[in-house]
Amino acid sequence: MITRRDAAQQLDIPIEMAVRHGIPARLTVDELVALEKQPPAWLVQSRANRTGKPVWVDLACVVCGYHEAARPKKWWPDYTWLSCDDHHADELPEPEPGTARSEVDGIGSRFVAIVDTRP
């Protein structure tokens, strides 16, 4: 069985949409494959209306490789790296000479965005 969240990720739709259109909380892989192969009208419509912005992005830690899928948020900065919030600063790649490094907490469930900018 897979969860509705996983199914939504697979179908690249928001969870709210999956709920609204009656995707159950748990479904079988066969049911998901059937949705992919013969998408219902609302799914076709949603894909046609896609603005080009990904509904899900893969967030990956540059230090340990931990990753998770998340819905991108408008306030997220254009980051250089992501790391889990429990790594030390010296585990991160060195900033390019001449750049200033800042950090933004709270990306996804556990990530810090590392932003290197040129002044």
Tell me, what DSSP letter sits at residue 70?
E
Cβ atoms of residues 14 and 39 within 8 Å: no
For position 82 contacting Zn ion by CB under 5 A, the verdict is no
- The nearest distance, CB 82 to Zn ion, in angstroms, is 9
Q: Among residues 63, 69, 70, 115, which is the contact residue for Zn ion, using CB under 5 A? A: 63
Q: Which stretch binds Zn ion (CB under 5 A): 11-19, 22-30, 35-43, 56-64?
A: 56-64
- By CB under 5 A, the count of residues binding Zn ion is 5
Q: Are 4 and 24 in contact (CB under 8 A)?
A: yes
Q: Which of the stretches 18-26, 67-75, 77-85, 102-110 binds Zn ion when contact is defined by CB under 5 A? A: 77-85
Which residues make Cβ contacts (< 8 Å) with residue 23, sequence separation at least 6? 4, 7, 8, 35
Report the residue number, 55 or 108, with the smaller CB distance to Zn ion. Answer: 108
Closer to Zn ion by CB, 32 or 69: give it.
Answer: 69
* Residue from the set 57, 60, 66, 116 that interacts with Zn ion by CB under 5 A: 66
Q: Nearest CA to 73 among 85, 60, 93, 57?
A: 57
DSSP character at residue 99: -
Residues that bind Zn ion (CB under 5 A): 61, 63-64, 66, 84
